[in-house]
Amino acid sequence: MTAKQPWYAEFGPLFVRLIIGWHLVYGSWGRVAHHKDLMIFQAYLANHHFPVPLLCAYVSSIAQVACGYCYILGLFTRPAAAVMTINFIVALGMVHWGMPYPRQALALLMLFPSIFLLLHGPGRLAVDNLLRRRG
């Protein structure tokens, strides 16, 4: 059993959601909005031996943008975190494995907060909690 946390403790998960969500949207929006950027990502995935790299590029890009918005809002946070956890484990395993830490850092910095959100949930300051109270 845990002691009652101070009121401001719930800002921690909110700040994690906001920065990771923003980064996911910012980093992937171009691939969703611009065919040229998607083709560059597809070539990158093909170079790393992904099966069906165009499909993988579409799925990963759309998932990152959608899950980024989910994080920001705190909406479907745990399912979004599960998707991003898988996405970044695959990225680390197929692209970044064996590279020096600086080349792995961004994927790790996306993976670990996703695992946090998967295990902890969005915190109290989230749309998920509004929906749960209504239902």
CA–CA distances in Å: residue 133 to residues 51, 72, 88, 127: 43, 19, 32, 10
Nearest residue to 12 via CA among 125, 129, 134, 105: 125
**Does 5 reside within a domain?**
no
**Does 73 reside within a domain?**
yes
The yes-or-no verdict on residue 1 having pLDDT over 60 is no
Tokens representing 47? 């170079």
**Does 90 reside within a domain?**
yes
Q: What's the pLDDT at 7?
A: 87
pLDDT digits (tens, 9 = 90+) for 90-132: 999 999 999 999 999 999 999 999 999 999 999 999 999 988 8
**Does 87 reside within a domain?**
yes
Structural domain total, the chain? 1
Q: What's the pLDDT at 2?
A: 62
